[in-house]
Amino acid sequence: MRIHSLPAQLVNQIAAGEVVERPASVVKELLENCFDAGATQVSVEIEKGGASLIKIRDNGCGIEKEDLPLALSRHATSKIQSLQDLEQVETMGFRGEALPSISSVSRLSLISRVADSQCAWRVQADGSEEELDPQPGPHPLGTTIEVCDLFYNTPARRKFLKSDKTEFTHIETLFKRMALSRFDITFELKNNQRTVFDFKAAITEDEQAQRVAKIFGAAFLENAIGIDFEASGMRLHGWVGLPTFSRSQQDMQYFYVNGRLIKDRLVTHAIKQAYQDVLFSGRHPVYVLFLQLDPSYVDVNAHPQKLEVRFREGRTVHDFLFKALHRSLADVRPKSQEVETIDLPKVVDFTPLPAAERSERTPQSYQPRSAPTQSALPLNVDAQIDAYTKLVAPEPAFNIQEPAQKIVVELPKAELAPPLGYAIAHLHSVYILSETENGIILVDAHAAHERITYERFKQQYHQGTVPSQPLLLPIQVQVSSAEADLADDQQAFFMELGFELNRMGEETLIVRSSPVLLKGLDVESLIKDVLADIIEHGMSERVKEQSNEILATIACHGSVRANRHLTVPEMNTLLRDMEKTERSGQCNHGRPTWVEVTKKELDALFLRGQ
């Protein structure tokens, strides 16, 4: 066939294939036009999932009578005039393709009025007309667009639409995303003449938080932290969910660049990296984040639906996002509770052994008869027992002459309540029970200690200051010949981790020193696990990139195990260390390290006050 020009309607219908994927795509394009018109009120009405009717009204600046035909022409826009404008776009739209594309696959009616006009002017189109003749009509300041019978003239496209309910679900999701992009606008959404959402303009921070709560649910704000980070000419603000408040899907992830809703792989990767060692495997973070930067550093002309952007300095943006979120998540730790006094447990109940089994024991080493004898190996946490521990575990003076007598120890009051309170008991040799001013706290001792060890070891490793100590007796580790070869090649890496490792024979390694922080660990098992990690992640630079995972493995080995019974001083030392350790709310695998039950919740369990 000879080369020929395509009819205008067919050109628009081809363009519509990129811009108008489904009814939700139409809503997005028209809402963005409302934003660019300076609207403060937007109303959206949907019927039959948008296939029958999409009606959007705004109170923006309106369109001049003479410009109405141009509004439905391809590549006609008021938003850019030159390449320089395109390189620093500040409006939502700029291509001039949306309205002609939509009108080519539907029956479209547009009526608009500007401030100094005596009446509004209307045009109607279905893509087949060559000229448009505006007609007068009544309408307040602003614009209303009705899109009827979507894809009526492209039956093949219409067949791809899902049920009305499914299509409206897509519109509802898009509407919520758009409502979060502009807090200064009042939004209303109706479906089949029923009001679904009615968001008033949110100016103050509290009002904005209320809108977020209406969209994400109140539980999100209760489990989120506010972000406001500024550096290098960029600002990131919004809300991010705590690692424990995560989802199995990526359905609650809203990210905006200069007010534009986007999905970008660079952004997604930076956020994923920030949550790397605090999020449970297979879970996804929840966030509403707004990035503001110079428009000239963002290319918004990268996707037909403007869902993707390109950053001129992608590495800088990635590092900025990672740093802002990583630091914000690291700062999440128990808050201090400044109170005048706190009521500590007044009675410690020691039931003496029968006379035949009495022995000369100190109160601190006394264990109930049902508790097994525990190892005296110390926890690898702070060596000093701080003032809080001394308050809870004083040196009580009592005698155990009367077998049936209960021994009462009076404990003093503290002027400052630590955030995680004071240890009372070690339950099932796994969980620490602690009393706070607000209720009680349960701590998974292994998970908490694992995080503490990991953060310290990670800091030492990245600073190149992992302290090492020689072993009294070198340890032989039996491995495969391939693992022995690998250990030979990676001796420098093991030295950075605090291990002195030498090969002795075809399948034997000798460990002569290990990290001070991991005193008493199973060195043989640990070396094998580290070698397995190196094999899994590859060699050289890949190992360094995955160093955190290897450090997490080491920390897990070096942490207190379940069924290792802890003394009160040990438990309190662990609690104090948690309070000053970054990301102590989750272990290295993303599981929570502690939970709180408030006095109010305890009262509800026992129906008190009812």
Task: Please enumerate in sequence order all residues whose Cβ is within 8 A of that of 553, keeping only pairs 6 or more positions apart, or say none.
Answer: 526, 529, 530, 533
Element (H, E) at 8: helix 8-19
Report pLDDT for 88: 66
Residues 44, 147: Cα–Cα separation, whole Å:
11
Q: Is residue 416's pLDDT more than 50?
A: yes
Residues 473, 462: Cα–Cα separation, whole Å:
29
3-class DSSP state of 503: strand
Q: What mean pLDDT do residues 135-150 have?
A: 93
Report pLDDT for 443: 92
φ/ψ region of 476 (left if φ > 0, alpha if ψ in -120 to 50, else beta) reads beta
pLDDT, tens digit (0-9, with 9 covering 90-100), for 33-87: 899 899 999 999 999 999 999 999 999 999 999 888 888 877 676 665 666 656 6
Strand order of the β-sheet with 287-292 is 224-231, 234-241, 287-292, 253-257, 260-261
Degrees to nearest 5, angle at CA 395 with 394 and 398: 125
Q: Is residue 530's pLDDT more than 70?
A: yes
Is 513 or 387 the better-scoring residue by pLDDT?
A: 513
* Structure-token match 């932290």, residue found: 225
What mean pLDDT is reported for the chain?
77
Q: How confident is the model at residue 351 (pLDDT cuts 50, 70, 90)?
A: very low
Residues 163, 211: Cα–Cα separation, whole Å:
29
**Which range among 4-8, 358-362, 583-587 has the greatest average pLDDT?**
583-587
Residues 87, 78: Cα–Cα separation, whole Å:
16
Task: Please enumerate in sequence order all residues whose Cβ is within 8 A of that of 26, keeping only pairs 6 or more positions apart, or say none.
Answer: 20, 50, 54, 102, 106, 147, 150
> Would you list the DSSP string of 11-40?
HHHHHHHHH-SSHHHHHHHHHHHHHHTT-S
Q: Is residue 189's pLDDT more than 80?
A: yes
CA distances from 29 to 23, 25, 47, 93, 114 (A): 10, 6, 18, 8, 21
b vs e for 104-139, b when ≥16 Cβ sit within 10 Å of the residue's Cβ?
Answer: bbbbbbbbbbbeeeeebbbbbbbbeeeebebeeeeb
Q: Is residue 482's pLDDT more than 70?
A: yes
Task: Please enumerate in sequence order all residues whose Cβ is within 8 A of that of 105, keeping only pairs 6 or more positions apart, or say none.
Answer: 13, 16, 20, 127, 150, 151, 152, 153, 154, 157
Q: What mean pLDDT do residues 24-35 have?
A: 92
Report pLDDT for 81: 64
Q: How confident is the model at residue 328 (pLDDT cuts 50, 70, 90)?
A: confident
Report pLDDT for 274: 87
Q: How confident is the model at residue 90 (pLDDT cuts 50, 70, 90)?
A: low
pLDDT, tens digit (0-9, with 9 covering 90-100), for 536-563: 655 434 344 445 666 666 666 656 555 6
Q: Where in the chain is the domain with CATH 3.30.230.10?
A: 205-330
| CATH superfamily for domain 8-199 | Histidine kinase-like ATPase, C-terminal domain (3.30.565.10)
CA atoms within 13 A on the CB side of 234: 21
Q: How confident is the model at residue 223 (pLDDT cuts 50, 70, 90)?
A: confident
Q: How confident is the model at residue 534 (pLDDT cuts 50, 70, 90)?
A: confident
Residues 105, 151: Cα–Cα separation, whole Å:
5
pLDDT, tens digit (0-9, with 9 covering 90-100), for 286-298: 999 999 998 888 8
Report pLDDT for 514: 82
Q: Is residue 455's pLDDT more than 70?
A: yes
Q: What mean pLDDT do residues 254-276 have?
A: 87
Q: What mean pLDDT do residues 409-433 have?
A: 75
Looking at domain 205-330, which of 3.30.230.10, 2.20.140.10, 3.40.190.10, 3.30.870.10 is its CATH number?
A: 3.30.230.10
* Structure-token match 């309540």, residue found: 417
Q: Is residue 379's pLDDT more than 50?
A: no
Token pair for 417: 């309540």
Given a contact cutoff of 8 angstroms between Cβ atoms, the answer to whether 349 and 602 are in contact is no
Q: Where in the chain is the domain with CATH 3.30.565.10?
A: 8-199
Residues 216, 210: Cα–Cα separation, whole Å:
10
Element (H, E) at 195: strand 194-199
* Structure-token match 């109303």, residue found: 43
Is 98 or 390 the better-scoring residue by pLDDT?
A: 98
Token pair for 289: 């984040």
